[in-house]
Amino acid sequence: MELKTELSEVKNYIDGKFERNGQNSMDVISPIDGSKISTLPLSTYDDVDKAVQAAKKAFPAWSGMTLKERVQIFFKYRTLLEENIDELTNLVVLENGKIYGEAKAEVLKSMELCEFAVSLPQIVVNEVQEVSKGVECRIERKPLGVVASITPFNFPNMVPHWTIPNALVLGNTMVMKPSEIVPLSTVRMAELLKEAGLPDGVFNLVNGGKDVVEAICDHPDIKAVSFVGSTKVAKIVYIRATSNLKRCVALGGAKNHLLVLPDANVEMTASNVVASMSGCAGQRCMAASVMVGVAKIDHIIDRMIHYAKELIPGENLGSVISAEAKERIENYIAQAEKDGAKILLDGRNTTVKGKDGGFYVGATIIDHVTTDMSVAREEIFGPVISIIRAKDLNEALEIENGSNYGNAAAVFTESGGLAKEVMKRASAGMIGVNIGVPVPREPFSFGGWNDSKFGVGDITGRSSIEFWTQNKKTTTKWNPEDQTDWMS
């Protein structure tokens, strides 16, 4: 793979310049083969402060531009993503371990997110009305100032694009903290944003772990924090950022339930469920984790085993992110076996020839899981599906409703009426009907319910406009007559 960026050492990007910060560093490992690919600085509060000061300095000029002017940069940036798609895809493959097609789909989604952002001048139209004779009220959307974005390891290219284009086009300046496990993609984004003409200081990158996140939550000059990651950390970030009086939306983990009814189309359902649980090695917050099989669905499970057996680790099934992740996933499978579940397909102890140091787990199907088992309740984040049997749709919905999470839920059926019932009663923010990964595409917004999201509104689409802006209400009178009417 040919890379245009020097990646042997990840640097922070502050005020338009790459610089070494942080006193300590950690290794960046490729999960494909376990090799060291870079080192990353573990930045401190002072580094975050430096980035915030740069973002603060850039804010007046950037927010002073018109929306239409700011959009021009993101037209160019979107084109640069397209021109560099092969390199960006390879970066995701290298640092995250997904297969090429999945990584490319991620960059294509980033382009779509930019397309939404460049359409914002058509959507964000201010309101004005003559509220009494000669008196006008006007509402304008104004940016917040310096905002922050904290991202997870599983979509190194796409998740940063959930926030960067919308937040910046709407006039904010940003400090971004990517996952320390996959920092390379964001370095290239910073370079391409500069190439697209983004003024220095508008976008800043501070690498590191927990200390950087805490500094972001505490820094008095950061107005809003968006977070995507596990529920445990989402809660910590939400509580810390809001207790420091910041706006916050924090997306957490998931345990998505797919309800399979006996009338479902067999091939479509079996292939969709397997694709949902195994795509990106099951490391998607929208992945199927529990399948609730209603009544007789053994014929569908048979076909699922067929499709799952076609997944070859290292070929069409990527690696999981780390040795710890592999161990965690395998422990969940072992625990399910101990608890009395039946392992129909076992992905433990998987190795890939020529990639001995890589972290691979084969597709795993576990049947006869009960709701008290850890594989039924907890996020596994690997290519594993747990099948719980239910006698009817009511029981299946009770099982789905019993989860603390609520990112996605889906139903597979040929019956419109039963599908409607699931649409109405499932306790999740994103519902699929005959779709295993029901990600809403732009302009529809992305966000779950319950422990899968804390804060008001969603992170993308129209909903994000509210999050990244505040309203200014102005009342004007340009009437020479001496009006003394009510409210004039």
For 79, residues 6+ apart whose C-beta sits below 8 A from its C-beta are none
* Residue with Cβ nearer ligand NAD (155 or 412): 155
Per-residue contact flags (x/-) with ligand NAD for residues 6 to 45, judged by CB under 6 A: ----------------------------------------
Other Cβ atoms less than 10 A from the Cβ of 343: the count is 17
Quick check: 158 binds ligand NAD (CB under 6 A)? no
Phi, psi of 100 (to 5 degrees): -55, -45
Quick check: 179 binds ligand NAD (CB under 6 A)? yes
Quick check: 209 binds ligand NAD (CB under 6 A)? yes
Mapped to the 3 state alphabet, what secondary structure does the chain carry? CCCCCCCCECCEEECCEEECCCCEEEEEECCCCCCEEEEEEECCHHHHHHHHHHHHHHHHHHHHCCHHHHHHHHHHHHHHHHHCHHHHHHHHHHHHCCCHHHHHHHHHHHHHHHHHHHCHHHHCCCEEEEEECCEEEEEEEEECCEEEEECCCCCCCHHHHHHHHHHHHCCCEEEEECCCCCCHHHHHHHHHHHHCCCCCCCEEECCCCHHHHHHHHHCCCEEEEEEECCHHHHHHHHHHHHHCCCEEEEECCCCEEEEECCCCCHHHHHHHHHHHHHHHHHCCCCCEEEEEEECCCHHHHHHHHHHHHCCCECCCECCCCCHHHHHHHHHHHHHHHHCCCEEEECCCCECCCCCCCCCECCCEEEECCCCCCHHHHCCCCCCEEEEEEECCHHHHHHHHHCCCCCCEEEEECCCHHHHHHHHHHCCCCEEEECCCCCCCCCCCCCCCCHHHEECCCCCCHHHHHHHHEEEEEEEEECCCCCCCCCCC
Quick check: 244 binds ligand NAD (CB under 6 A)? no
Q: How far is the CB of 121 from ligand NAD (least distance, A)?
A: 27
Quick check: 241 binds ligand NAD (CB under 6 A)? no
Site for ligand NAD in 255-314 (CB under 6 A): 285
Q: How far is the CB of 311 from ligand NAD (least distance, A)?
A: 21
Beta bridge partners of 366: 343, 386
Q: How far is the CB of 214 from ligand NAD (least distance, A)?
A: 6
Quick check: 448 binds ligand NAD (CB under 6 A)? yes
Considering only the stretches 42-50, 82-90, 119-127, 247-255, report the one whose residues sit in contact with ligand NAD under the rule CB under 6 A: 247-255
Q: How far is the CB of 71 from ligand NAD (least distance, A)?
A: 26
Task: Report, in angstroms and rounded to the nearest whole number, the Rg of the chain calculated over CA atoms.
Answer: 24
The helix-helix angle for 266-278 and 298-309 (nearest 10°) equals 50
Which residue of the set 114, 217, 248, 285 is catalytic? 285
Considering only the stretches 80-88, 152-160, 185-193, 339-347, report the one whose residues sit in contact with ligand NAD under the rule CB under 6 A: 152-160
* Residue with Cβ nearer ligand NAD (189 or 294): 189
Q: How far is the CB of 385 from ligand NAD (least distance, A)?
A: 16
Phi, psi of 346 (to 5 degrees): -115, 115
* Residue with Cβ nearer ligand NAD (154 or 278): 154
* Residue with Cβ nearer ligand NAD (315 or 324): 324
* Residue with Cβ nearer ligand NAD (89 or 407): 407
Q: How far is the CB of 367 from ligand NAD (least distance, A)?
A: 24
Quick check: 210 binds ligand NAD (CB under 6 A)? yes
Site for ligand NAD in 366-405 (CB under 6 A): 379, 381
Considering only the stretches 81-89, 98-106, 227-235, 408-416, report the one whose residues sit in contact with ligand NAD under the rule CB under 6 A: 227-235
Q: How far is the CB of 449 from ligand NAD (least distance, A)?
A: 10
Quick check: 186 binds ligand NAD (CB under 6 A)? no
Considering only the stretches 87-95, 248-256, 369-377, 418-426, report the one whose residues sit in contact with ligand NAD under the rule CB under 6 A: 248-256
Q: How far is the CB of 287 from ligand NAD (least distance, A)?
A: 8
Task: Answer for the pair 178, 186: CB distance below 8 angstroms, yes or no.
Answer: yes
Quick check: 452 binds ligand NAD (CB under 6 A)? yes
Q: Cα 414 from chain centroid?
A: 31
Considering only the stretches 249-257, 364-372, 383-391, 415-423, report the one whose residues sit in contact with ligand NAD under the rule CB under 6 A: 249-257
> How many whole angstroms separate alpha carbon 374 and alpha carbon 85?
39
Quick check: 153 binds ligand NAD (CB under 6 A)? yes
Considering only the stretches 6-14, 39-47, 250-258, 308-316, report the one whose residues sit in contact with ligand NAD under the rule CB under 6 A: 250-258
Q: How far is the CB of 306 from ligand NAD (least distance, A)?
A: 28
Q: Is 217 a catalytic residue?
A: no
Q: Which of 47, 180, 330, 451 binds ligand NAD (CB under 6 A)?
A: 180
> How many whole angstroms separate alpha carbon 226 and alpha carbon 468?
10
Q: Which of 31, 41, 143, 152 binds ligand NAD (CB under 6 A)?
A: 152
Summarize as ranges the residues that interact with ligand NAD (CB under 6 A): 150-154, 159, 177, 179-180, 209-210, 213, 228-230, 233, 236, 251-254, 285, 379, 381, 407, 448, 452
User: What are the catalytic residues?
Assistant: 285
